[in-house]
Structure 1
Amino acid sequence: MAFAQKTSVTGASQDSDPIRVMVVDDAVVIRGLLTRWLDDAPGLTVVSSQRNGKLAVDDILKSNPDVVVLDIEMPEMDGMTALPLMLAKKRDLVVIMASTLTRRNAEISLKALSLGAADYVPKPESTSEVTTSVDFRRELIDKVKALGLRARRLRGPAHRMRAETTAGRTAAPVPASRLPDTREAFRGAAKPAAPAAASFKLRPYSAVKPRILAIGSSTGGPQALQVVMKSIGTAIQDVPVVITQHMPPTFTAILAEHVGKAALRPAAEGKDGDVLKPGQIYVAPGGKHMVLEKDAGAVKIRLNDNPPVNFCKPAVDPLFDSVAKIYGSATLALILTGMGHDGADGVRTIAAGGGSIITQDEASSVVWGMPGAAAHTGMCSDVLPLSEIGPKVSRVLKGNTR
């Protein structure tokens, strides 16, 4: 399938040229639909469309995309086989996995994140559902844009060395050895050049020892959560942990298992009526809002089917609001990497109740939407790189805020 190079983009990003996208899907209808959606979106241009992983791998250097939307299940070569081969050929490539909402595909998608994929988009089950799903289309375009721009910023001037169409001729692709490897930043391993907190107004930590840890995250969150929870470990033995990660059903159940293994603590999706217990981790189930309520001296989980908040369900704001009402100044909350601004209002509520908030910094975030919005409220007690959040949380939970 041939693609014409766009010469101008209305509403494009800070870069003068559009983000280059490859679509890989064996279903011709889906492949054509995704290609049309992405190619019509301001700031994006589809440079390649392939029906299986082998063809995509063979075309990586020629088409030189910034972002690949990669299906998991395909004949000849599936997405998981193609993923490492693509990244070996182009180290700065952003790969977004696309999969339907089955347990097997959810497991594969989370495994792909550990192998270098930047994120995933869950596809509706049927072609007709994909065609009519406004939410899927919006999420796909938003993630391609956000992750593509993030990768370019990490590369800096290097991205201008990539293949460009000039006067109808395409320059030779830049060898992978000459391009920076941005994948570590997508895993949250990037280091800030200077203390991020210096740029923001910060509040003192609460003098009250935390009795709960509440966490909100989205794009890049599964990787970030594992890093943080592995570092915290036994420090959460005296407090419950409640997590809202923007994810669909099935994915959240598997995420809970992974987070529990990382922390070596019991973890599961929250169930309506669950009584919070110290040392246990509760993940909001996909498709439901999770909030807390006090009932006869016990704190219980309540799930509801209210409309999405900030386009999200589950959303962070309802959880944070309910936590603040019950725990007040004994609240410790984290906002980790993610798109949008979900959690910012909840941060204000927690701060108004005297609680403490730690936000992930820009350098280590896959997307600095949610943590950036939280940091700019001026209500956080720290803005830290991912590698420092776990150790800091462990100290704060023990009553040491230094």
Structure 2
Amino acid sequence: MIRVLVVDDSAVVRRLVSSALSEAGDILVAGVARDGIEAVEQVAALEPDVVVLDIEMPRMDGLGAVVEIRKDHPRLPIIMFSTLTERGATATLEALSRGASDYVTKPSNSVGGVADGIAAVREQLVPRVRALAGRRRLASGVPLVRPAPVAAPPPRPRVAAAPPEVLLIGSSTGGPDALARLLPALPKDLHVPVLVVQHMPPVFTTMLAQRLDRECALTVREAADGDPVRAGEILIAPGDHHLRVVRSATGVVARLDQGPQENFCRPAVDVLLRSAVDAYGGRALVTILTGMGQDGLEGCRLLAAAGARVLVQDEASSVVWGMPGAVAGAGLAHGTLPLDDLARHIMTGLRVPAAQAAIRP
């Protein structure tokens, strides 16, 4: 059983979250706490596998609790429970920068009764609890049943005629912190555009773009429909919208739509990568960062077949090695690298034709 500590100052929310988790047969609510001080005490007493932590609480808020918990429990997964507001998004990003592992959003007031609220929480929270608990147990040496790697051989790429013309990045769980470490390492004179899909809801992507813009030498902004895709700029897919690129007579432009979710996501990495095949062919460099699931796998397969180069974050530095692991397991990665080494190898990959570049894991 995965033991979870639920922390929230609202008794209603504690019951809702506890009910949502308890319905999963492999999760046990080991305890509850009403504020950050109780959370720190309960972590020491109960030794849970995962903590679900509210942000706004009396005495000690969630941000303070993350800092205190991390002092003695650097690997304990902490999932922030956030409101879908600008204030909630800002606080969540700050919590992630302080060491929180992931977040889920609280159901809005428009959600129906208790049953609907429990279902909404369960849909978001249970997969994250399972993934993060599994990651912690793996790091602790506890054997896990790991999915077999995809046996398909890597595609035989066509030779790329020129160096990459675009950098494409996909990320999910753990992605905001990974992006905050990777993107500021890119130089101001970067000669290609950067397009990013991070699995996040509306408002959160806006705040993420603003936060990264303050930290990066490059301009970072949330993409708008019709934006020109220009060298030296980073465009982030807005929450609840797919981001595509389309080549026209005047250059490449960004297109947004609210088509069906793919891999349970909107924005989805695969949507961007598929469009890049048409817009750039093999003249692209793809980087898949930490995240649950396998969004980006099929897009990487298409781009690699066209001659593009693919780098993935390694398992040791990933919060969850789902997305990068799926690409690596399919034999599509030209390099499997620690997060702090990716920027250097990205710059190397942007200077030479994709089919000529090779980096060993």
TM-score (norm 2): 0.89
Shift of residue 89 of structure 1?
Answer: 4.2
- What residue is the counterpart of 1:85 in the other structure? 68
- What residue is the counterpart of 2:205 in the other structure? 252
CA deviation map 1:183-237 (0-9, x unaligned): xxxxxxxxxxxxxxxxx969789462010001110001111112221222236x2
- What residue is the counterpart of 2:215 in the other structure? 262
For 1:357, what is the secondary structure of its paired residue? strand
Distance 1:41 1:383 in 2: 34
CA deviation map 1:236-275 (0-9, x unaligned): x211110000001111112112333333111111000111
Shift of residue 372 of structure 1?
Answer: 1.0
Distance 1:280 1:203 in 2: 31
Contact 1:218–1:338 (Cα < 8 Å) also in 2: yes
- What residue is the counterpart of 1:6 in the other structure? none
Distance 1:78 1:43 in 2: 29
Query: Does 1:148 pair with 2:102?
Result: no
Shift of residue 136 of structure 1?
Answer: 3.8
Distance 1:203 1:389 in 2: 24
Query: Does 1:210 pair with 2:164?
Result: yes
For 1:121, what is the secondary structure of its paired residue? strand
Contact 2:54–2:81 (Cα < 8 Å) also in 1: yes
Cα distance change of structure 1 residues 127 and 340 upon mapping to structure 2, 3 Å threshold: same
Distance 2:216 2:163 in 1: 21
1:223 counterpart (170, 177, 184):
177
Q: Which amino acid is 1:154 matched to?
A: A
Q: Which amino acid is 2:175 matched to?
A: G
Shift of residue 376 of structure 1?
Answer: 1.9
- What residue is the counterpart of 2:79 in the other structure? 96
Cα distance change of structure 1 residues 68 and 370 upon mapping to structure 2, 3 Å threshold: same
Shift of residue 135 of structure 1?
Answer: 4.9
- Count, aligned residues: 343
Q: Which amino acid is 1:357 matched to?
A: V
1:261-280 aligned at under 5 Å gives the runs 261-280=214-233
Greater C-alpha radius of gyration? 1
1:46 counterpart (26, 29, 35):
29
Query: Does 1:123 pair with 2:106?
Result: yes
> In terms of mean alpha carbon deviation, does 132-141 or 49-58 score higher?
132-141
Contact 1:96–1:121 (Cα < 8 Å) also in 2: yes
RMSD of aligned Cα (Å): 2.2
Cα distance change of structure 1 residues 59 and 53 upon mapping to structure 2, 3 Å threshold: same
- What residue is the counterpart of 2:16 in the other structure? 33
Distance 1:261 1:215 in 2: 19
Q: Which amino acid is 1:224 matched to?
A: A
TM-score (norm 1): 0.80
Q: Which amino acid is 2:229 matched to?
A: L
Contact 1:30–1:127 (Cα < 8 Å) also in 2: no
For 1:286, what is the secondary structure of its paired residue? coil
Q: Which runs of 5+ in 1 are unaligned?
A: 1-17, 159-199
Distance 2:110 2:224 in 1: 32
1:151-162 aligned at under 5 Å gives the runs 151-156=136-141
Cα distance change of structure 1 residues 213 and 129 upon mapping to structure 2, 3 Å threshold: farther
- What residue is the counterpart of 1:301 in the other structure? 254
- What residue is the counterpart of 1:76 in the other structure? 59
Shift of residue 362 of structure 1?
Answer: 1.4
Cα distance change of structure 1 residues 202 and 117 upon mapping to structure 2, 3 Å threshold: farther
Contact 1:208–1:330 (Cα < 8 Å) also in 2: yes
Q: Which amino acid is 1:250 matched to?
A: V
- What residue is the counterpart of 1:331 in the other structure? 284
